[in-house]
Structure formats: C-alpha cells, structure tokens
Amino acid sequence: MDKLVVKGGARLTGRVQISGSKNSALPILAATLLTPETCVIRNVPDLSDIRFMIEIMQRLGAKVTFENGVVTTSAEKIISEVPYDLVRKMRASICFLGPIIARCGQATFSEPGGCSIGDRPIDLHLKGLAELGAPSHNEGGNIYIPKANLVGKEIFLGGKSGSTVLGTDNIMMAATRAKGLTIIESAACEPEVRDLADFLNKMGAKIVGHGTRRLEIEGVDALHGVEHTVIPDRIEAGTFMVSALITQGDVFLAGAEANHLVNVIDRMKSCGAQITSDAKGIQVSAPRKLSSIDLVTETYPGFPTDMQAQLCALMTVTPGISAITEKIYPSRFMHLSELRRMGARVELEGATAILHGVEYLSGAPVMASDLRASAALVLAGLVARGTTEVNRVYHIDRGYEHIDQKLRALGADIERVR
C-alpha cells in the first residue's frame, strides 16, 4: 500500500493543469449506457474511481477503452444486474441505476460503498424512480426493480440536507426515456449536473432548466452517440488554491473555471488571498498573513462540503479563531484527530469545528479516512515542520490525478513510497 511522504516548508509557485471533473465524468460514463451507439468522452481524469467505473461498464456488457484522457464506449447490449463485488468500492456506482432501468426496464443492484463520511442514503433516488414508474424493494442488501414502465411526472427531490446530486442525475437520466414530461423540483444545480444535462442533450434528450432548481425533461424514443469534453474539476482547483495559500505561494490554475468556484473564491478573498481569473484559469497568491474566517457548507452555490477539510487545514495555521460548520455531512470531521496529531488546536462542537490558528504544525505519521481528508493532510504536511507520512493514499487516488507529481512540479518536497 502506498503512502505520501511530505517534507514541509517549500513555497509553492508556478502553473498546474486542472484535470477533468471526477464528479462529472462518473455520471456521464454511466449515461453512455443509454445508447447502443459509440460515445467519446474527453478530458477524463485518470483516477481509481474512473477505472472502477469502466470495470463495471465492461462487466455490464459495454466495450470501453481509456487512453490519454479519452474514454470510448459502445454499449450495444447490456445486462441489468450489478453485483456487490463491483459497487462496494465506489458510491457513485449508484448512478448506473437510472440508465439501466431506462435501457433494460428492470434492475438488480447492490447498495454501493465509498468513503466513510457519514450517512448517505439513496432513498431519494428510489423515491424518484418509483414515482416515474420503477418501484423497488430491498432484500438481502440488494435493490430489486422487477419491472419499470417509465411515465413522466412532477417529482420533488429535496431532502433534509438539501438537493441530492446523484439522485438528480439518476432521475434525469431515467426521465430521458420516460413517456411525456418529467419535472424535477428542488433539483441539484451543481456544475456537474449541468455538464451531464449538456451531454444528454447532445445525445438527443430534451432537458431545460439545468443549472436551476427546476428541471424539465421531455422523454424521447432513443438517444444516440456523441462526443463530449468533461468540465474542469472545481474541487481539485479549490484544493490547489489552498496549497498556494497555506504555503504563502503563488500558483496559476490552468483551465480552472472561476464561475464554478464563486463561493470558494469569496471565502478565500475574505481571509486575505489575492485571486484573479480569466478565460485561461485562476491566479492565486497569499502576499501576506491570512486572517481567520467562519463558513458553513451548503448545497451549490454555497460553500462545498468537499472543500471543508482543506479549509480546516488552512485555518489550523491562520492566526485567530475560525468556525467551520458542516451542514451536509455533520460527521465529516475525521481529519481533525489527525490534524491534532500534527499540533493543530481544534475542538468539535456538534457539527462545528473551532480552529485556533497555531504558529506551526509538526510533521507526523497520519492516516487518511476519506478522499478530501487525505487532501487536507497533504496540505497540512506542506506547511508542517519536519516530515509527514500520509497513509492510505488510495483514498486520494480516487479523486486527484497524480497529485504528488503536480505538487512536486510546483516546488513541494513530496514523494510516493510503496
């Protein structure tokens, strides 16, 4: 098992290329099963999650190749059963449910696995599919949808923590083949949902309202093959923003989309960062000591939960007291105990982390608990005195393409050790 060894103290400078969005690519790959024709998806990041997704697609009967960031798919015939040994590794595998139902009219699906960041039920997925005409029952850890007769309907997808991204994706994909008009109220409006809708519309779907809380999908008889380029990964971009700030550096994020990161940029500017952007990317620098901030994670366009751990790492060495409240996954704070091992002063009060900025962190062996927590520990290692060993880096490989190579190119002293 690999680990990342980070020696802190280097100031990061230079240019880093932001990869394609993992959270766009995964549902888009699932959506290629909606057509028997060939699809070509570009700007796909080379991640373990992408490899798992391709493996599932191949087991379902699709022909898939992946080379130099380009995935080519052909799904002339697919099966409707997805076993546990495939889906246990990755929660995003649930987004196969909508396309399989639309294509096969039935599905057998094991509940998926993924990072341990708190309870993430799929009840809204199943509720929406049932309202479309695909009722399910659960037995032995499997979801059974024996027969689907998809008919458009008005569906409310709001939950206790806000909109569901993968739930919106699933219902939207299934609705492309439903009879009549489907309206999704309280739909997720993240850039990744918009990217999937753009892809589906290229395939011949009739979707309007993507990017808003109300989606309208007019069902069509068939979808066809297309080519599509995945949007840049806003969470990777946000993570590299923090890498510049925590090391008092100056980094250009090539290809990053500032309009996908409005809330993140606003919070970082409020703590003293200098950030400019143009069509080519985003420039981030920290010319002076930063100041503490308070923030609350919310559904898009609010501050993303996937950036919470990275901001915690930044605030551990920022003068003052910061309060970071997690409203999406209230138990998503397992990185705090590892940051404490490095000398961070932090208390957890319910779903709020109270961080007292310290003069310095100390390198230590730490254990990654999930994807974004592992990124936070690497960021802390960049500024810590001494050497930090981040174990269980298979988590970080799920969502960051060659993060060690990219950081090293910016001047970081980081090495992957097997």
Just list the catalytic residues: 115
Angle at 363 between CA 359 and CA 366, to 5 degrees: 120
DSSP 53-120: HHHHHHHTT-EEEEETTEEEEE-SS--SEE-HHHHTT-GGGGGGHHHHHHHHS-EEEEPP----SS--
Q: Would you say 254 and 279 are in contact if contact means Cβ atoms under 8 Å apart?
A: no
DSSP string, 171-195: HHHHHTTSBSEEEEET----HHHHH
Distance CA(103)–CA(92), nearest Å, equals: 19
CB 59, CB 271: distance < 8 Å: no
Phi, psi of 104 (to 5 degrees): -105, -20
Amino acid letter for position 393: V
278 CB contacts (<8 Å, ≥6 apart)?
none
**Cβ-based neighbour number of residue 178 at 10 Å:** 24
